[in-house]
Structure 1
Amino acid sequence: MMPRTVEAVVESGGHVRLLEDVSLPEPRRALVTILDEAAEDPNLTALLSEAALAEDWNREEEDAAWEHLQPEK
């Protein structure tokens, strides 16, 4: 299984609430990063996801699939 990032809220009592359903075959370890809400950047989700998605984005098959939407060179 590949590492995956999901958005969550850490409540004041320390309980972590995932903002999407996650189905796992067995218990897994997880890392939680606490973000400073005041410093929220509208592009933060994209920036945090970039490394995880790079494996899918940076493939020749992906480039070929989207080639028809690129302007003519």
Structure 2
Amino acid sequence: MLPEDEKWYFDAKTREVTQGREGAWDDRMGPYDTREEAAHALEAAAARNAAADAEDNSEDDWGKPASWDSAKK
């Protein structure tokens, strides 16, 4: 048995948690070490996306508008 077959995956299309690589690769999230981690895959992805978006937004705020951006003056 391969190590990947012992891991847990979340199928975003069927919303099922499986052990081992079942289903199409483009619908599968993982691998996760536990069934519970796989069951919360969407929440974890949403939290990572929100954190990345917040970081991107903070990097975009330089305190004053760009010289060419008259809409922000």
Fold agreement, TM-score > 0.5: no
Higher strand share: 2
TM-score (norm 2): 0.28
The higher radius of gyration belongs to 2
